[in-house]
Amino acid sequence: MDSNYVVGVDFGSDSVRSILVDTKDGRVLATSVFSYPRWKKGDFCDPSRSRYRQHPSDHLEGLEKTISSVLQQSGVDPQKVKGIGVDATGSSPLPVDEAGVPLAFSEEFSEDPDAMMILWKDHSAIAEAEEITSLAKLWGGVDYTRYSGGTYSSEWFWAKILFVSKNNPAVLAAQPNWLEHCDYLVGELTGKLKPEQVLRSRCAAGHKAMWHATWGGFPSQEFLGRLHPELALLSQKMKSQTLTSDESAGYLSRKWAEKLGLSSQTLVAVGTIDAHAGAVGAGVKSGTLVKVMGTSTCDMLVANNNEVASEPLQGISGQVDGSILSGLVGFEAGQAGFGDFLAWYKRLVTEPAMELIRSSDLLDPQLREKMASELSDKMMGYLNKQAAKVPLESGTLAVDWINGRRSPGLNETLKSALLGLDMGTGGGTVFKALVEALCFGSKRIIEWFRQNGIQIEQVIGIGGIAQKSPFLVQTMADVLNMPIAVAASAQTPALGAAIYAAVASGIYPSLESAAKAIASPIAKEYYPIAANAAYYQQKYQQYLALGEFVEFGRIGKV
Give the model's pLDDT for residue 506.
Answer: 97
pLDDT surpasses 90 at 555: no
Structural domain contains residue 438: no
The better pLDDT of the pair 310, 554 is held by 310
- The whole-number average pLDDT for the span 165-192 is 98
Nearest Cα to Cα of residue 88 among 160, 162, 188, 20: 188
Q: What are phi and psi of 411, to 5 degrees?
A: -150, 100
Residue 334 to residue 274: CA distance in whole angstroms: 14
Structural domain contains residue 421: no
Give the model's pLDDT for residue 94.
Answer: 98
Over residues 38-91, the pLDDT tens digits come to 999 999 999 889 999 999 999 999 999 999 999 999 999 999 999 999 999 999
Q: Strand, coil or helix: what is 360?
A: coil
pLDDT surpasses 60 at 558: no
Residue 43 to residue 168: CA distance in whole angstroms: 18
Structural domain contains residue 184: yes
- The whole-number average pLDDT for the span 16-34 is 97
- Amino acid (one-letter) located at 281: G
Percent of the chain with pLDDT over 70: 99
Give the model's pLDDT for residue 259.
Answer: 96
**Cβ atoms 512, 502 nearer than 8 A:** no
Give the model's pLDDT for residue 149.
Answer: 95
Structural domain contains residue 492: no
CB atoms inside a 10 Å sphere around CB 451: 10
**Cβ atoms 132, 227 nearer than 8 A:** yes
Domain count, the chain: 1
**How far, in whole angstroms, is CA 187 from its chain's centroid?**
20
pLDDT surpasses 80 at 373: yes
Residue 10 to residue 370: CA distance in whole angstroms: 31
Helix (H) or strand (E) holding 9: strand 5-11
- The whole-number average pLDDT for the span 148-166 is 97
Structural domain contains residue 482: no
Handedness of CA 462, 468, 469, 473 (dihedral sign): positive
Question: What is the helix, strand, coil percentage profile of the chain, to 5?
Answer: 45, 20, 35
Among 38-42, 83-87, 181-185, 304-308, name the one with the lowest average pLDDT: 304-308
Structural domain contains residue 553: no
* Measured CA angle at 534 (ends 529, 538), to 5 deg: 140
Q: State how far the alpha carbon of 331 is from the alpha carbons of 301, 364, 412, 469, in Å.
A: 5, 54, 20, 26
Over residues 222-279, the pLDDT tens digits come to 999 999 999 999 999 999 999 999 999 999 999 999 999 999 999 999 999 999 999 9
Give the model's pLDDT for residue 125.
Answer: 97
Handedness of CA 158, 159, 160, 162 (dihedral sign): positive
* Mean pLDDT over the full length of the chain: 96
Give the model's pLDDT for residue 295.
Answer: 87
Give the model's pLDDT for residue 3.
Answer: 81
Residue 79 to residue 262: CA distance in whole angstroms: 7
- The whole-number average pLDDT for the span 418-443 is 97
pLDDT surpasses 80 at 444: yes
Task: Tell whether pTM > 0.95.
Answer: no
Over residues 345-359, the pLDDT tens digits come to 999 999 999 999 999
Nearest Cα to Cα of residue 60 among 5, 101, 92: 101
- The whole-number average pLDDT for the span 416-429 is 95
Range of the domain at 242: 5-279
- The whole-number average pLDDT for the span 186-205 is 98
Structural domain contains residue 32: yes
Q: State how far the alpha carbon of 326 is from the alpha carbons of 85, 182, 280, 453, 524, in Å.
A: 15, 18, 11, 21, 28
Nearest Cα to Cα of residue 345 among 393, 303, 382: 382
Burial of 549 (0-12, 13-18, 19+ CB in 10 A): middle
Could you tell me the pLDDT band of residue 116, with boundaries at 50, 70 and 90?
very high
Q: What is the CATH number of the domain that holds 67?
A: 3.30.420.40
Structural domain contains residue 98: yes
Over residues 485-502, the pLDDT tens digits come to 999 999 999 999 999 999
Give the model's pLDDT for residue 557.
Answer: 53
**Cβ atoms 393, 536 nearer than 8 A:** no
Over residues 507-524, the pLDDT tens digits come to 999 999 999 999 999 999
